[in-house]
Structure 1
Amino acid sequence: MLNKTHAKHVKLNHSKHIMISGKYNTSRLDSFWTTIKRAIVGQYHQVSPEHLQSYLDEIAFKFNNKGKNLFSLLITKIVKQRR
């Protein structure tokens, strides 16, 4: 099934501590999962299934814009929407 949407599917076996195979690795995905866990335990404490997608959207936005001035980015998006 993946061969219809992806040119190549590479399996990395974490149980055998294989995290990298050539140019393929799971470090960014592992980092994202760690960020999710840290946010839920340290910031939100509880996440209801009803609002889970909103929490994940916020975490993904912060993760994808790491190192940027998020306040300026937010203001810029608000101004562009109002035009």
Structure 2
Amino acid sequence: MEMASFSGFLRTLGIIVIFYYLFKFAVRLFAPILMQKAVNKMQDKMQEQYRQQQEQQYNASQATKATPKPKKEVGEYIDYEEVK
């Protein structure tokens, strides 16, 4: 059975600390870029939804204007003549 050496422990600890600071630096560098892309993507989605909603409202208003309301059909129309 091998025992862990103190120098090996320090080396591992040093590597962990170096990777931690490299990760921290990379996040500070790339996080604003990623956040800006996410915000732009959400803004595009919201604009598309708004555009679709406006088109639906316009189409609905056009459909109600284009088709006249159907008249109520009470029954057959019979033309009577007066008899004297």
TM-score (norm 2): 0.26
Query: Which is greater in Rg?
Result: 2
- Which structure has greater helix proportion? 2
- Which structure has greater strand proportion? 1
